[in-house]
Structure 1
Amino acid sequence: MGLPPTQLWTREQVATRVLAGDTLFVLHGNLVRVPPSWLAAHPGGRLSILHFVGRDATDEVEAFHCDETLQKMRGFIVGRVEMGEDGWTPLVPPIAHGWVRRMGTDGKMEWYNEARQVQTFDEKDSPSAFQGLLQKAAGETAECGPMMSMLQAVPAKVSPKNEKLNSDAYKELHKRVIDAGLYKTPFLTGYGPEFVRYSLLALVSAVCYRYGWLVPSALFLGLFWQQLTFFAHDLGHVGVTHDWTLDRLISIFVADFLGGLSIGWWVNNHNVHHLVPNHPSHDPDIQHLPFFAISPVFLKSLWSSYYKREMTFDAFGKLFVSMQHKLFYVVLSLARFNLYANSYGYLAKTAFEPRRYRGGRWWWWAEVFGLGLFFVWFGAVLKGCGSWQNRLVYLFVSHIAASPVHVQIVLSHFSRSTDDLGPAESFFARQLRTTVDVICSPRIEFIHGGLHLQVTHHLFPRLPRHNLREASLIVKEFAKERGLEYAEFGFVEGNGEVRGVLKQVADQLKIVGMVADSEIREAMKN
Structure 2
Amino acid sequence: MAEPKKYISQQELAKHNKAGDLWISIQGKIYNVTDWTKSHPGGQLPLMNLAGQDASDAFLAFHPGTAWKHLDRFFTGQHLQDYTVSEVSKDYRRLVAEFSKLGLFEKKGHGVLISFVVMAVLFAMSLYGILCSDSTWVHLLSAGMLGFMWIQSGWLGHDSGHYQIMATRRLNRVAQLLAGNCLAGISIGWWKWNHNAHHIACNSLDFDPDLQHIPFFAVSSKLFSSMTSHFYDRKLSFDPAARFLVSYQHLTFYPVMCLARINLFAQSFALLLSKRRVPNRVQEIVGLIVFWIWYPLLVSCLPNFGERLMFVVVSFAVTGIQHVQFCLNHFSSSVYAGPPSGHDWFEKQANGTLDISSPSWMDWFHGGLQFQVEHHLFPRLPRCQLRKVSPFVQELCKKHNLPYNCASFWMANVFTYNTLRAVALQARDVSNPVPKNLVWEALNTHG
Normalised by the size of structure 2, how large is the TM-score? 0.90
Which amino acid in structure 2 is aligned with residue 439 of structure 1?
A: S
C-alpha deviation, 1:280, in angstroms: 0.8
Q: Which whole-Å CA distance do the structure 1 matches of 2:205 and 2:218 have between them? A: 9
My pick for the range that moved more, 419-428 or 466-475, is: 419-428
Which amino acid in structure 1 is aligned with residue 426 of structure 2?
A: Q
Aligned match for 2:211, one of 286, 299, 302: 286
Is 2:147–2:317's contact at 8 Å kept on the other side of the alignment? yes
Q: Which whole-Å CA distance do the structure 1 matches of 2:269 and 2:115 have between them? A: 28
Residues 474 and 400 of structure 1, relative CA distance in 2, 3 Å threshold: same
Counterpart position of 2:423? 505
Counterpart position of 2:304? 387
Q: Which runs of 4+ in 1 moved over 6 A?
A: none
Residue 155 of structure 2: SS of its match in structure 1? helix
Which amino acid in structure 1 is aligned with residue 261 of structure 2?
A: R
Residue 452 of structure 1: SS of its match in structure 2? helix
Residue 515 of structure 1: SS of its match in structure 2? coil
Residue 32 of structure 1: SS of its match in structure 2? strand
Residue-by-residue CA offset, 1:287-342 (whole Å, 9 max, x unaligned): 00111100001111111111111111122211211111111110111111110011
C-alpha deviation, 1:420, in angstroms: 4.2
Counterpart position of 2:82? 84
My pick for the range that moved more, 384-393 or 328-337, is: 384-393
Residue 23 of structure 1: SS of its match in structure 2? strand
Counterpart position of 1:198? 119
Counterpart position of 1:367? 284
Residues 287 and 30 of structure 1, relative CA distance in 2, 3 Å threshold: same
Is 2:198–2:209's contact at 8 Å kept on the other side of the alignment? yes
Q: Which whole-Å CA distance do the structure 2 matches of 1:4 and 1:266 have between them? A: 46
Is 1:261–1:339's contact at 8 Å kept on the other side of the alignment? yes
Aligned match for 2:177, one of 240, 244, 252: 252
2:393 is the counterpart of 1:472: no
Residue-by-residue CA offset, 1:45-77 (whole Å, 9 max, x unaligned): 211111111110011011111222221122211
Q: Which whole-Å CA distance do the structure 1 matches of 2:14 and 2:48 have between them? A: 14
C-alpha deviation, 1:387, in angstroms: 2.4
Counterpart position of 2:322? 405
Which amino acid in structure 1 is aligned with residue 178 of structure 2?
A: F
Q: Which whole-Å CA distance do the structure 1 matches of 2:395 and 2:341 have between them? A: 27
Equivalent residues in 2 for 1:449-468, closer than 5 Å: 449-468=367-386
Aligned match for 2:256, one of 328, 331, 337: 331
Counterpart position of 1:228? 153
2:352 is the counterpart of 1:434: yes
C-alpha deviation, 1:6, in angstroms: 5.3
C-alpha deviation, 1:269, in angstroms: 0.4
Which amino acid in structure 1 is aligned with residue 118 of structure 2?
A: R
Q: Which whole-Å CA distance do the structure 1 matches of 2:238 and 2:417 have between them? A: 20
Is 1:218–1:398's contact at 8 Å kept on the other side of the alignment? yes
Residues 216 and 461 of structure 1, relative CA distance in 2, 3 Å threshold: same
Is 1:239–1:463's contact at 8 Å kept on the other side of the alignment? no
Q: Which whole-Å CA distance do the structure 1 matches of 2:198 and 2:359 have between them? A: 27
My pick for the range that moved more, 58-67 or 70-79, is: 70-79
Residues 46 and 315 of structure 1, relative CA distance in 2, 3 Å threshold: same
Counterpart position of 1:161? none
Equivalent residues in 2 for 1:485-524, closer than 5 Å: 485-515=403-433
Residues 222 and 4 of structure 1, relative CA distance in 2, 3 Å threshold: farther
C-alpha deviation, 1:246, in angstroms: 3.7
My pick for the range that moved more, 250-259 or 469-478, is: 469-478
Normalised by the size of structure 1, how large is the TM-score? 0.77
Aligned match for 1:178, one of 72, 94, 100: 100
Q: Which whole-Å CA distance do the structure 1 matches of 2:68 and 2:424 have between them? A: 46
C-alpha deviation, 1:457, in angstroms: 0.1
Equivalent residues in 2 for 1:66-81, closer than 5 Å: 66-81=64-79
Q: How many residues end up aligned between the 2 structures?
A: 430
Is 2:182–2:290's contact at 8 Å kept on the other side of the alignment? yes
2:89 is the counterpart of 1:167: yes
Counterpart position of 1:26? 25
Which amino acid in structure 2 is aligned with residue 219 of structure 1?
A: G
Counterpart position of 1:262? 187
Which amino acid in structure 2 is aligned with residue 511 of structure 1?
A: D
Q: Which whole-Å CA distance do the structure 2 matches of 1:8 and 1:239 have between them? A: 37
Q: Which whole-Å CA distance do the structure 1 matches of 2:112 and 2:273 have between them? A: 33
Give the structure with the higher percent helix.
Answer: 2
Q: Which whole-Å CA distance do the structure 2 matches of 1:282 and 1:198 have between them? A: 34
C-alpha deviation, 1:401, in angstroms: 1.1
Is 1:9–1:79's contact at 8 Å kept on the other side of the alignment? no
| RMSD of equivalent CA atoms | 2.4
C-alpha deviation, 1:180, in angstroms: 3.0
Is 1:185–1:239's contact at 8 Å kept on the other side of the alignment? no
Is 1:321–1:506's contact at 8 Å kept on the other side of the alignment? yes
Is 2:17–2:48's contact at 8 Å kept on the other side of the alignment? no
Residue 31 of structure 2: SS of its match in structure 1? strand
Which amino acid in structure 2 is aligned with residue 264 of structure 1?
A: G
